[in-house]
Chains A and B, each alone.
Chain A
Amino acid sequence: MASNEEILAGLAEIVNEETGLATEAVEMDKSFTEDLDIDSISMMTIVVNAEEKFGVRIPDEEVKNLKTVGDAVSFIASAQA
């Protein structure tokens, strides 16, 4: 089980790999679409890579609720619990 900081760091690596954004730009309060300019295809790629990295399942219907990086970190943390 990973801490929120570890999940954020792992997620930042996945976002960097997919979009080229600096890992430091991936902060808890940042919106995936508004702030990070991530489109729906990249978002799905990030979700699938996060599932593999953190050993969780993020249902498709849940993805639309993950508006900020913090939303995703919380979801992954609770799914791991």
Chain B
Amino acid sequence: MARKVVITGLGATTPIGGDVPTMWKNALKGVSGAHTLEDDWVAKYELPVHFAARASNPATEVLSRVEAKRMDPSTQFAVVASREAWADAGITEIDHDRLAVAFATGIGGVWTLLDAWDTLREKGPRRVLPMTVPMLMPNGPAAAVSLDLGARAGAHTPVSACASGTEAVHMGLDLIRSGKADVVVCGGAEAAIHPMPIAAFASMQALSRRNDDPEHASRPYDLGRDGFVMGEGAGALVLEAEEHALARGARIYAELAGTSVTADAYHITAPDPEGLGATRALKAAMFDGRIQPEDVVHVNAHATSTPVGDKPEYAALKAALGKQLDSVAVSATKSQMGHLLGASGAVEAVLTVMAIYDRKAPVTINLENQDPEIPLDVVTSARELPSGSIAALSNSFGFGGHNAVIAVRSI
């Protein structure tokens, strides 16, 4: 019998709240974190998209100036979220050789990389900062969290585009089940609201162009959806072997029952139109967690608000849950905070855990004309979840055909 893994700490810094209590309050209310960008580079480079969902609180509210200077913004977010999660877990004594980190990013230190390139071209090699490499490397967030918490059982960085954050939770479960660690701080971070990634995502027609109305631009499942909204931030969870948590009398939010990762092997960016890879991931996560379709009452969907992306996820949910899908409260939280790319799965894992713990499903905003081809029961005002033993799923899919699913069960 596999070791049971529970969630004992949560942290987040997002466009709708700089910590978990604020984010959760807003997620139940239904707010938008998307706003017009005031940066001069929007006009300078004539970007076709003028808005994004910035983190609501700057990392420097938590980090000192000197700490922040040595970290790319993505790493800053990772440290902010993981410190909150660690404090929330309340672990006072730990064998640091049994504490691991699995912290993902989709893109890595893109601000650092491109700033250094500008410096090289404008001022020459002497002015390229010596901290450039450790700041731009994609393992920067995992390394910084490991250093911050003294985690010595490995610091890992799954990279699978927009599935990265969920894959980090999957990796965390594996590390504890396989006996390599007793406690894992897992999560994902992203800070890519920079003109180059905006231009690149816009070039592939992935971003909403609703420049005159940013707050209504992210509208998963709505017929008027025209692309995702860039977000930024981080989410972090403390996973703990159940016996470790019980021994110290920890507050337990929920059980991380099962996880899975699959690959479409279909197309580098387009999702399999029948959602076959996503279906296999959903079924595998449920099998891994010994979860039957009738146990599932809530899904935090990937639902990015792109015209092509939202449909195959419905097909996959239908295939995995069958008739039960009619009784599942589906939340598309990217409607509120945009798409946090490699951080999205981690933040949505936090939201899914809170939904199970608080027994409330968060709100999907901007759903005015639901796409008739996606007849899901979408939560548009905060909804109570049933009492008794319940389970929830959170999906993430990434460019490259990555599918990752986690299954969370009430305790």
- Chain A: residues with CB nearer than 8 A to chain B? 18-20, 40-41, 44-45, 48, 51-52
Contact = CB atoms under 8 A, between A and B. Distances in A.
A41 B126 contact: no
B127 A41 contact: no
A41 to B, nearest CB: 5
B127 A20 contact: no
A20 B65 contact: yes
A51 B64 CA distance: 26
A40 B65 CA distance: 19
B126 A51 contact: yes
B130 A18 contact: no
A41 B130 contact: yes
B127 A48 contact: yes
Interface of B: 64-66, 69, 126-127, 129-131, 134
Contact of A18 (B64, B69, B126, B127): B69
A40 B129 CA distance: 12
Chain A interface secondary structure, helix, strand, loop or mixed?
A: helix
Contacts of A41: 130-131, 134
B130 A44 contact: yes
B126 A48 contact: yes
7 contacts: A18-B69, A19-B66, A20-B64, A41-B130, A44-B130, A45-B129, A45-B131
Contacts of B65: 20
A19 B66 CA distance: 6
Chain B interface secondary structure, helix, strand, loop or mixed?
A: helix
B169 to A, nearest CB: 32
Chain A to chain B: the 3 pairs with minimum beta-carbon distance, closest first = A20-B66, A44-B130, A41-B130
Which of A41, A44, A51, A52 neighbours the largest number of chain B CB atoms within 10 Å of its CB? A41
Contacts of A40: 130
Contacts of B66: 18-20
Contacts of B131: 41, 45
Given A41-B130, A48-B127, A52-B127, 13 more contacts: A18-B66, A18-B69, A20-B66, A40-B130, A41-B131, A41-B134, A44-B130, A45-B129, A45-B130, A45-B131, A48-B126, A48-B129, A48-B130
A41 B70 CA distance: 10
Contacts of B130: 40-41, 44-45, 48
A26 to B, nearest CB: 14
A53 B327 CA distance: 67
Contacts of B126: 48, 51
A19 B127 CA distance: 18
A30 to B, nearest CB: 18
A52 B129 CA distance: 13
A51 B126 CA distance: 10
Nearest to B126: A48
A80 B64 CA distance: 34
Nearest to A58: B126
A45 B126 CA distance: 10
Contacts of B127: 48, 52
A17 to B, nearest CB: 8
Nearest to A44: B130
A44 B69 CA distance: 15
A48 B116 CA distance: 14
A40 B134 CA distance: 13
A41 B129 CA distance: 9
A48 B126 CA distance: 7
B130 to A, nearest CB: 4
Nearest to B69: A18
B71 to A, nearest CB: 13
Contacts of A52: 127
A30 B34 CA distance: 50
A13 to B, nearest CB: 14
B132 to A, nearest CB: 10
Contacts of A44: 130
B6 to A, nearest CB: 38
A55 to B, nearest CB: 13
